[in-house]
């Protein structure tokens, strides 16, 4: 498994398995399947409501904990230093582990300054091997980072062939922050699986559109966490080490970038939706 070294020296797999929208009932099975086909990076979050399933899977999978790279994220309803610290301990309990490899603030809302201080404390106490952010853009990213001691090791953003995050990649480079792509297959939209440009490239190598799209991201130095509940697709997404995209292929795909995002975190309506998300979607409330 290809890895990348984060700004604090921690090695992180370049390709992982994400469990967004994987139901709590299916999560354990899906994560066990993902680990069995070779994934070692598993990405979850408090707001996915399936940390228990991930924890059950990693405790049963037979792979030593130090060979797995586990990511979770602190949700808005747990914002603030004290609340976030408490929620981090709850996540560790659900995940059946003493530490996570990467701990992120999920959204740039609420008292995320206090939340980040809790992340820094967790990092110093060994509860997280690396910390970072998710969905922080532009000035908000810079403002937080410039006022915190530990620079984020990772920034997770919507990133795929149709939105390649070139501006943010340049911005975070100054801090040594690694880009991690959520929705690396555009969540199956915009005809990504039938796109003729990707298909023409894939046909040269006997690869699918999804495999080409993921290979492109890795070649650009971007960590990707595709999600599937089907074991055969999990395996297919992982099977991209046996071919190389030419520089011509890479330039062709770079031209597919529209810069348009599916989720606008500067939209007030989106902010209200996310702030109330836990109240509306938490199956335990």
Tokens 């939706």 — which residue?
273
Choose, from 17, 48, 49, 137, the residue flagged as catalytic: 48
Task: Report the alpha-carbon distance of residue 24 to residue 10 in Å, rounded.
Answer: 30
* Count of CB atoms situated within 10 Å of the CB of 74: 31
- Residue 108, phi then psi, degrees to nearest 5: -85, 50
106 annotated as belonging to a binding site for a ligand: yes
Strands (E), the chain: 3-5, 11-13, 17-18, 41-43, 69-74, 102-105, 131-134, 154-158, 178-182, 223-224
Active site residue 48: yes
Bridge partners (DSSP) listed for residue 18? 43
Task: Report the candidate in 99, 83, 97 with the shortest Cα–Cα distance to residue 54.
Answer: 97
> What six digits make up the tokens of 191?
């005809």
Task: Report the candidate in 172, 181, 82, 68 with the shortest Cα–Cα distance to residue 129.
Answer: 68
Bridge partners (DSSP) listed for residue 102? 71
Looking at residue 107, what DSSP letter applies? S
The torsion region of residue 90 among left (phi > 0), alpha (psi -120 to 50) and beta comes to alpha
Q: Show binding-site residues for substrate.
A: 106
**Which residues are part of the catalytic machinery?**
48
Q: Show binding-site residues.
A: 106
């Amino acid at each position: 498994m290809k890895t990348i070294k984060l700004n604090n020296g921690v090695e992180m797999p370049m390709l992982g398995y994400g469990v967004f929208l994987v139901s709590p009932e299916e999560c354990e099975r899906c994560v066990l399947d993902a680990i069995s086909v070779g994934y070692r990076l598993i990405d979850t979050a408090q707001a996915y409501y399936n940390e228990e399933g991930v924890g059950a899977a990693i405790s049963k999978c037979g792979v030593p904990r130090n060979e797995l790279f586990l990511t979770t994220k602190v949700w808005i309803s747990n914002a603030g230093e004290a609340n976030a610290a408490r929620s981090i301990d709850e996540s560790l309990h659900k995940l059946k582990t003493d530490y996570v490899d990467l701990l992120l603030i999920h959204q740039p809302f609420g008292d995320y300054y206090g939340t980040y201080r809790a992340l820094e404390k967790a990092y110093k106490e060994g509860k997280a091997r690396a910390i970072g952010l998710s969905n922080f853009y532009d000035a908000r990213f810079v403002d937080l980072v410039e006022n915190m001691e530990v620079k984020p090791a990772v920034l997770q953003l919507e990133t795929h062939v149709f939105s390649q995050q070139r501006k943010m990649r340049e911005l975070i480079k100054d801090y040594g922050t690694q880009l991690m792509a959520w929705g690396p297959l555009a969540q199956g939209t915009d005809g990504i699986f039938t796109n003729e440009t990707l298909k023409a490239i894939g046909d040269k190598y006997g690869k699918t559109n999804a495999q080409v799209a993921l290979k492109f991201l890795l070649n650009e130095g971007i960590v990707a966490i595709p999600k599937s509940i089907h074991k055969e697709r999990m395996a297919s997404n992982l099977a991209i080490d046996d071919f190389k995209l030419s520089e011509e292929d890479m330039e062709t795909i770079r031209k597919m970038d529209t810069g348009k995002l599916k989720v606008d975190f500067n939209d007030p309506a989106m902010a209200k939706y996310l702030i109330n998300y836990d109240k509306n979607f938490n199956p335990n409330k």
